[in-house]
Structures are given as structure tokens and as C-alpha cells.
Amino acid sequence: MITLSGIRNAIWCGVAFGIVACAATPMPSDKLAVAKSSVDRAEQAQAGQFAQGELTSARNKLAAAQAAADKHDADVAARMADQAQVDAQLAEFTARAKQQEQLAAQMDASLDDLRHEAQRNSATAAPQSPPPQ
């Protein structure tokens, strides 16, 4: 016989189950947000130009993480988000390193020019030997 209290109990059971189910698979929205901002930072660091491969990998993994989150696959979403984040970081620092290395090479070249010029100036002005009689 189905009593009122039995129905109430059943409802409570259902609510409790739902809560548990929701708690068991929370979507890693914080990880996704971190991965997204890492990709943004890499793009700002001109990774598109200096670290194309790493940036593409980060974007693909971020998309995969988003897709997994949409399918409520929290584990895969979290893993992909972490990978996307570290790939984006690698893209960012690779791009930054390459740009600084370019600047360093330019600095070396301009220093060479400067040294030559200084040397030439002191070489043309220094010797003041008397002209032959």
C-alpha cells in the first residue's frame, strides 16, 4: 500500500540522489577559466607568430575540454583543461624567449657596429705623426 509518507520518502530519496549525483561530477569550470586565460595570454605574447605549434595544441585542448564539459565528462574536461593550460604557458614563454633572443641578437649587431665605429674614429684621429719633410 502506498502511503503519503512513503511517497514523501521517495521524493526525498530522489532529491538526495540528485544532490549526490550533482556533487559527484562537478564541472571543472575554474580549470577551464584558467586554461582560457592562459591561451589569451599566449596570444597576447604573439605566440601565433613565435610558437604556432604550442598555441594550436593549447587551443585544441581547450576546445576538447569545453566539449567534454558540455557532455558532463568532468574527468576528461579537467585533464584537457590542465593540458591546455600548460601548453598555453609553453606557447607564451617560447614566444617571449624568441622575441628576447631576437632583441639580444639585434643588440649584439648594433654593439659590433658601435665598436667598429669607435675604433675607426680613434684610428683616424689618434696618429699625429709629422708629415715627411
Partner 1 sequence: MKRTLPGYLAIAASAALFIGCQTAPKDEGIIVEARDAVSRAESDPDISKYAPTELTRARQFLTNAEGAAKSKGARSPDAAQYAYLATQTARVAAQRAHEQVAMAHIKAGETERQKILVSARENETQRAQADAQQARAESQNARAETQSAQAQAAQAQAEAQRLAAQLENVQATQTDRGMVLTLGGDVLFDSGRASLKPGAQRSIEQIASFLEEHPDRRVQIEGFTDDQGTDDYNLELSQKRADAVAMAIIQRGIEAQRVQATGYGEQYPKASNNSAGSRQLNRRVEIVVGKDNQAIPARQPPVAP
Which chain residues interact with partner 1 by CB under 8 A? 75, 79, 82-83, 86-87, 89-90, 93-94, 96-97, 100-101, 103-104, 107-108, 110-111, 114-115, 118, 121-122, 125-126, 128
Query: Closest CB to partner 1 among 10 and 75?
Result: 75
At closest approach, how far in Å is the CB of 8 from partner 1? 42
Going by the DSSP 8-state scheme, the letter that residue 75 receives in this structure is H
1-27 exposure pattern, b = at least 16 Cβ within 10 A, e = fewer:
eeeeeeeeeeeeeeeeeeeeeeeeeee
Query: Closest CB to partner 1 among 14 and 40?
Result: 40
At closest approach, how far in Å is the CB of 70 from partner 1? 20
Torsions phi, psi for 43 (to 5 deg): -65, -40
Going by the DSSP 8-state scheme, the letter that residue 14 receives in this structure is H
